[in-house]
Structure 1
Amino acid sequence: MLIGANDYKLILLDTNAIREIVTNTNMSGKGFLERFFACSSDAYAPCFSIYNVIELMPYQDIYEKFLEFFSTIPCLVMFPVKSIFQREVECYLEGKSFVIDGHIANAFTPLVLKDNYNCKKFFENMAKDTTLMENIQNEVKTFSSIATDWENRRNRTEKMLKAQHLPLNMINEKFYRTQEKDTIIKDLMNYGISVPLGVEILHLPASRMMEFSQFVRIYQTRKHIKPNDVMDIQISCIVPYVNAVITENFQADVYKKAKHFIPQLEELEIYTLKDIRQ
């Protein structure tokens, strides 16, 4: 992707990766820069979600470190997931290729003086927009209730299977694939996005990625579901359109599994936190 005058690969950072980089700058922060940014001919621009920014704002020390670190390198902030799904569906219906542009993200570079290109100034100005801030904060607040709903869904499914003397492992990836299209259409409708029943989901990899991440987190593990899990699952929707990702081990395995049936992930580079620790 072209940012300023230079072309970069895009690498998505999840919540854990961002915290690791900005709170351990002498180790993980330095490790990230040396591995992904030192080579000017093959540099990566980090991507993060607006949700991550909102989450960090109350923690002044970490937030200041975040602004300081990401104001020194080219990077991108992704807008709320609805804008990504909306744009992907629009491109599908209009027969256009989906690209990461101003519809779904804002690019920053320290080499341009305009406010919208400066990470720190952009978020300072955003914080002054009370309506925008309230809307995004309210969306982030829903992650807690969504996590609870997913936990309840898991428990209800287990009770139903036990009552019918069915094995718990029957809700597997093969089962998921039979439900994938209907689930995607339903969730897009929940976002207020209409798609024709004959939609070809092959062309909606953002929706496919998020739905699969959600399925695995609910039904393929007994791990307690936290609001941050919901956030990272939603953030995962952009992964089919980036070159690489840094995440924790569980989600890394989800991406590896998704590579088998989401063709847009074929060349995705998958890294975990240990890859940036020195």
Structure 2
Amino acid sequence: MVEEKILVVDDNEEILEKTKDLLERVGYSVECCNSGKDALAYLSDNKVDLVLLDINMPKMNGFDVCLRIRQRHALDDLPVIFLTNREDSDSVTKGFQAGASDFVSKSAIAEILLARVNVHIRLCRSLHNLREISLTDDMTGCFNRRHGMFSLREWFSRSKRYGTQFAIIYFDLNGLKETNDRYGHQAGDLLLRSVSTSIKEILRETDQLFRMGGDEFMVICPETDVKGAFVCAERMEKIVSGIKIVENQASFAYGIAHSSEDYKEVDDMLHSADVSMYKMKEEMRK
């Protein structure tokens, strides 16, 4: 049984029903929206594996919807296929510039649509699997520093281009070296795994946790204002405070940087969070 979910967006009810029936017959889970506004609202609260999108819709056309989707989802994260009758070169060019993955004509036979959908879902799944293998920290199960820097640069560029806001929380565990020295590296490893597992449980699905090296971690919080970033950090503090390894209660110092500060370079944003974190760590030592 196919488990992937597809969102179909079209203002024509007949097209919606026809496409939904076709996809469900081969095992896909299908949701439908009849406007770009409803589609964006649905995507803000729900995860899908592929979007089939009409171009000619009132109020917000498919090009604008696709651009908005790309503000939140990278090209290799969520395939968007335009299902349309507009196949002229200008429309195709504009569609790919907006972030489309592919075009399928509404007049195409069912097998062509199903083949294109299957190809893009399989490709996306393969990319996800490769990402998990190459970009995951073996100790904690978090993403590693390599992926952290890649994701930070991606969100930074997206923020500059589209005005998308995001925050980073950079934090450093207290007492990891002392735990290793006093109780051995097994205890230190347990501390790292316990903290990362607990934090992942309270983060939103869209948030990402990275181990940046040793006892330092970073959280990227998309679509988050400054207040929301501090709320997230406080929730992290609360859940970590309940972790005790041997005789040591877990804790950390953190620093926050937000895209609204208009940093010139991504390294400036990371440095700002790092400086704030060390200021907190100094205060905690007093």
Q: Normalized against structure 2, the TM-score is what?
A: 0.27
Instruction: Pick the structure with greater CA Rg.
Output: 2
Which structure's relative contact order is higher, taking Cα pairs within 8 Å and 6+ residues apart?
A: 1
More strand by share: 2
More helix by share: 1
Q: Normalized against structure 1, the TM-score is what?
A: 0.27
